[in-house]
Amino acid sequence: MLYARELVLNELAQGLRPTTEGVEWFEGLSEDDQRKVLHSLVGFCGQARACEDYVPESIARSGIRPSHTPAVMLTKWRFGMAALPAYELTKSFRLLVALFSIADTRRRTRHCADGCGHEWHNLSDLRRDAT
């Protein structure tokens, strides 16, 4: 069973929830919860086997400038974004969601194309069952 936070992040990564809605959700959280979400996203990126080759596309998709601190950090393959000042958290969120989306999409295409038992890769089935 996915927790609500995990569900939102996976829906964002799979394009089942618009990024604008995800950013609105993220910005509605307390700063402490925002930092926890960023920590979770870093873990999800690792599980999805994100790699440095995905960074330029992540920056482009996120809509943040390559000169923004979170983008510079990711370019150097540093993930301590949850420790950034509060005004950088939304940029970090957008960037990590983009990275997670790229990595997860590639992982699903390469390793789960014929189907899998990962609950988070079958969200459209969960949504259909809920209606």
Contact 12, 19 (CB under 8 A): yes
Is 19 exposed, middle or buried, given 0-12, 13-18 or 19+ CB atoms closer than 10 A? middle
Tens digits of residue pLDDT in 72-98: 999 999 999 888 999 999 999 999 999
Provide, for the chain, the percentages of residues in helix, strand and coil under a 3-state DSSP scheme, each rounded to the nearest 5: 75, 0, 25
Its pTM stands at 0.85
Determine contact, residues 100/13, Cβ cutoff 8 Å: yes
Nearest to residue 100, comparing CAs of 25, 12, 16, 36?
Answer: 12
Give pLDDT tens digits for 28-61. Answer: 999 999 999 999 999 999 999 999 999 999 999 9
